Amino acid sequence: MAPLKFEDNIKEKLEGRTIQPSQDAWEKLANQLDKNKSQKNMNTYWWLGLAASIIGVIMVTVLYQNSEIVDDKNQLVEVNEELDVPEKRNQLVEVKDVKKEEEKVDAELIDKEVKVMEEQFVKKINKDTRVVKTIKSSRSSSKAIEENNNNSITKEESNKILETPIVDKNTIDIKLAEVITKVKELENSAISVTDEEIEALLYKAQKEILIEQINSNNVSASALLQEVELELDESFKERVFEALKIGFDKLKTAVAEREN
Amino acid sequence: MKVIQFYKNEKQLIKKASNEHRDAQRQLYDKYAPKMLSVCRRYIRDVHFAEEVMLNGFLKVFMNLKQYSFQGSFEGWIRRIMINESISFLRKEKDVLFTEEVLGYTEESWNNIHTKFEVEQIQELIDSLPDGYKMVFVLYAVEGYKHSEIAKMLEISESTSKSQLFKARKVLQQKVNQQNNISNGSIEI
């Protein structure tokens, strides 16, 4: 027989050997398997609970942030609602009613302003008429003086004085009527008219009256400047030059007339 | 036909066991436990400790059964788990030393041993080895691993694995010579 290698012998013998485990070995193993199964389930539930709590925290955070944003929007926009819901349509109608009332209030304010301006013009007119009356009274009291031509006020001049207030009063009335019609036109066009606009119209009318006075009688530097200011709304540079040009022309004509 | 059926049956059994089917697990245990206990016994002198290691091994088998991809034999897969468990037990319980010294060993003298031994004698010879020598010897001579594989398993160098093997053979040789001298050197050809 060929010599068997020692190691092959060892290998052969050990490979063929079996050892029966003890009888309670399987029970030990089964118990250990059950223990690990429950542990595994516990771990699974633990991870699921952890994941659920994390998701819950994230959701609460997001909802809280969204509610803050909604609150901010509500503060900024008081009346800004959709028209789909009928309730909100009624609210829109109410808003329109409020606006109408505001327009009414504005109209009332405009009327008041107009009346105030009328009173101011009337006061001015009365002042002028008082001047006329004093002149008349002086005329009547010094009728004799008038016949002697020693009166400083000539007939023509007195007529002029009489006429000018009448003329001024007419122009003022005309301008006032124009302003009132313009304001009413604005009212009718449902555009809210501010106090500033009314004042601007009255100021414009006042300037036009002054311009007419310049054209008819005297020339004054202040009237010229006022005319310039009137036209200052447009391009400042162009209007200034244009106004100066117009004023200079008027000055020339006035001087020419005076000389005549 | 029988082999194919057996294979199909074992595959189904393994799948059931991987789904924590207790009866399937019991069948696999009954089939492989005796052999696996023998494997553990090669490394561990005490059979009770060897059984404990074997049960731990089966616990790992059933917990990781879904990782078995049906490539290679199922027995080889279980065996590898048992060997790893046995080595872990030895390294945990005892301080295993792997020395580099090679003391007067020659391969020629090792191959001149012609004595036939019974399994109990062989086991007794192996049990007499220090744990370091024993692990390398059993892995190389009995399990058939290469020195490179043994080095990875035991986390040692290949040279250490070789030297451990030589030492193991030397000790076994001395033991065998002692036994032969006692029995007046009976030789079989």
CA distance A101 to A243: 42
Describe the crossing of helices A86-141 and A195-216 by its angle, rounded to 10 degrees.
Answer: 30
**Residues A103-110, mean pLDDT to the nearest whole number:** 63
Report how many Cβ contacts below 8 Å link chain A to chain B. Answer: 84
Task: Band the pLDDT of A136: cuts 50, 70, 90.
Answer: low
pTM of the model: 0.51
CB contact under 8 A, A26 and B117: no
User: Which comes out higher in pLDDT, residue A202 or A156?
Assistant: A202
pLDDT of residue A167: 46
Looking at CA atoms only, how far is residue B83 from chain A in angstroms?
14
Q: Give the one of A6, A30, A36 whose C-beta lies nearest to B110's C-beta.
A: A6
What would the DSSP string read from start to end of A75-121? HH-SS---SSSHHHHHHHHHHHHHHHHHHHHHHHHHHHHHHHHHHHH
Look over chain A and give the mean of its residue pLDDT values, rounded to a whole number. 70
pLDDT of residue A97: 65
Q: Is the pLDDT of residue A164 over 50?
A: no
User: Which comes out higher in pLDDT, residue B144 or A130?
Assistant: B144
Task: Band the pLDDT of B2: cuts 50, 70, 90.
Answer: low
Looking at CA atoms only, how far is residue A36 from chain B in angstroms?
9
Q: Which residue of B has its CA nearest to A7?
A: B141
Please report residues of B whose CB lies closer than 8 A to that of A18. Answer: 34-35, 37-38
Which residues of B have a CB under 8 Å from any CB of A? 20, 22, 25-26, 29-30, 33-35, 37-38, 41-42, 47, 50-51, 54-55, 58-59, 62-63, 110-111, 113-119, 122-123, 126, 141-142, 144, 172, 176, 188-189
The owner of tokens 């053979």 is: B169
Q: Locate B67 and state its tokens.
A: 């990782």
Q: Is the pLDDT of residue A96 over 80?
A: no
CB contact under 8 A, A4 and B55: no
Q: Is the pLDDT of residue B127 over 50?
A: yes
Substitution target from B35, B48, B65, B82 for chain A, most A beta carbons within 10 A: B35
Looking at CA atoms only, how far is residue B43 from chain A in angstroms?
12
- Please count the other Cβ atoms lying within 10 Å of the Cβ belonging to residue A103: 15
CB contact under 8 A, A7 and B42: no
pLDDT of residue A162: 46
Which residues of A have a CB under 8 Å from any CB of B? 1, 3-7, 9-11, 13-22, 25-26, 28-30, 32-33, 36-37
pLDDT of residue B86: 96
Q: Locate A100 and state its tokens.
A: 């109408």
Looking at CA atoms only, how far is residue A64 from chain B in angstroms?
45
CB contact under 8 A, A20 and B117: no
What would the DSSP string read from start to end of A200-235? HHHHHHHHHHHHHHHHHS---HHHHHHHHHHGGGS-
User: Which comes out higher in pLDDT, residue A180 or A72?
Assistant: A180
CB contact under 8 A, B141 and A28: no
pLDDT of residue A55: 94
**Residues A207-236, mean pLDDT to the nearest whole number:** 67
- Quote the ipTM score: 0.83
Contacts of A92 (CB under 8 A, 6+ apart): A81, A83
Q: Which residue of A has its CA nearest to B121?
A: A10
- Please count the other Cβ atoms lying within 10 Å of the Cβ belonging to residue A101: 10
Q: What 8-state DSSP symbol labels residue B141?
A: I
Q: Locate A71 and state its tokens.
A: 């609150």
Q: Give the one of A4, A11, A17 whose C-beta lies nearest to B116's C-beta.
A: A4
**Residues A105-134, mean pLDDT to the nearest whole number:** 61
- State CA A106 to chain mean position distance: 16
Q: Give the one of B114, B122, B141 whose C-beta lies nearest to A4's C-beta.
A: B114
**Residues A113-141, mean pLDDT to the nearest whole number:** 58
Contacts of A218 (CB under 8 A, 6+ apart): A254
pLDDT of residue B57: 97
What are the tens digits of pLDDT across the range B63-114?
999 999 888 899 999 999 999 999 999 988 766 666 655 555 555 566 666 6
Look over chain B and give the mean of its residue pLDDT values, rounded to a whole number. 86
CA distance A189 to A55: 60
Please report residues of B whose CB lies closer than 8 A to that of A21. Answer: 33-34, 37, 51, 54-55
pLDDT of residue A59: 94
